[in-house]
Amino acid sequence: MTTTTLLHLDSSISLGDSVSRALTARFAAAWRARHGAAGRYVHRDLIAEPVAPIGAGYAALGRRVERKGTVPVADVAALAEGPDEEREWSLTHPLINRLLAADTVLLGVPMYNFAVPAALKAWIDRIGFPGSYTDPATGESLLRRTRVVIAAARGGGYGPGTPREGFDFQIPYLRAYFTNLGVPPERLHIVAAELTRADDVPALAGLQPLAVKSLADAEAALDALAAGRPTAG
């Protein structure tokens, strides 16, 4: 039996009323039901179990690795100098390995202050260690077969043509980051539920029907992705 792995990360500080958490839970449940015993499920709540922010030792080790070109992840530890760099790599290496082992990566990402949560940014900074996703032998991306599914939630409206379209530093950032790591654009799926605060923010009064539709569209897109059906990225 061939095993497939889902790595599921949540980053919302809200619990019972989190839209992004509800969306990722929906996808994960459908994915697990589909794959059954052949599916390995790994979940990390980045709020309950935060990733430590990177420090000076991470930067020093990263620069040393970059100067040597592409270094296999397994060989980085030998380049660490001193306890600070060793500690930083010990915090980083398991996260990189977990990402490399995943066939599908599922991220729940609310918009905070027009961008991504600090808890997710800490994970992003740590896994982005230089050269970790390049095959030293071929130069190809080690993430070229990885599927990334992002369930984004935004309290307001940031779609094309909206007054705040230019304020969106959440989805463009995530798209740029993962494609730069080597995830093919066709394997990066970003699904957004907008206007999630339409029920309680006076400035969004009257937009509830649009909010309902946006959430329903997001749920349908995630259902299709969990089932393996094609959908827009």
Query: For 77-123, how does the pLDDT look when each residue is reduced to its tens digit (9 = 90+)?
Result: 999 999 999 999 999 999 999 999 999 999 999 999 999 999 999 99
203: CB partners within 8 A, 6+ apart? none
Q: Can you give the pLDDT at residue 141?
A: 97
Q: Can you give the pLDDT at residue 230?
A: 65
- Is residue 208 in some structural domain? yes
- Is residue 179 in some structural domain? yes
The residue segments making up the domain with residue 112 are: 4-226
Q: Crossing angle for the helix pair 19-35 and 208-226, nearest 10 degrees? A: 20
Residue 57, pLDDT above cutoff 90: yes
- Is residue 46 in some structural domain? yes
Kindly calculate the radius of gyration of the chain based on its CA atoms and give it in whole angstroms. 19
DSSP tag of 51: P
Which structure tokens are listed for 167? 């304020």
User: How many domains would you assign to the chain?
Assistant: 1
Q: Can you give the pLDDT at residue 194?
A: 97
**pTM higher than 0.85:** yes
Q: Can you give the pLDDT at residue 197?
A: 95
Cα–Cα distances (Å) from 170 to 24, 27, 128, in that order, read 17, 20, 17
Residue 128, pLDDT above cutoff 50: yes
CA distance 119 to 117: 5
For all residues of the chain together, what is the average pLDDT? 96
- Is residue 50 in some structural domain? yes
114, 69 contact by CB (below 8 A): no
- Is residue 10 in some structural domain? yes
Taking residues 195-221, what's their average pLDDT? Answer: 96
- Is residue 90 in some structural domain? yes
User: Who wins on pLDDT, 160 or 230?
Assistant: 160
Q: Can you give the pLDDT at residue 233?
A: 44
CATH number at residue 124: 3.40.50.360
What are the tens digits of pLDDT across the range 150-199?
999 999 999 899 999 999 999 999 999 999 999 999 999 999 999 999 99
Question: Any idea how long the chain is?
Answer: 233
- Is residue 232 in some structural domain? no
Taking residues 132-159, what's their average pLDDT? Answer: 96
Cα atoms in the Cβ-side hemisphere of radius 13 Å centred on 169 = 8
- Is residue 231 in some structural domain? no
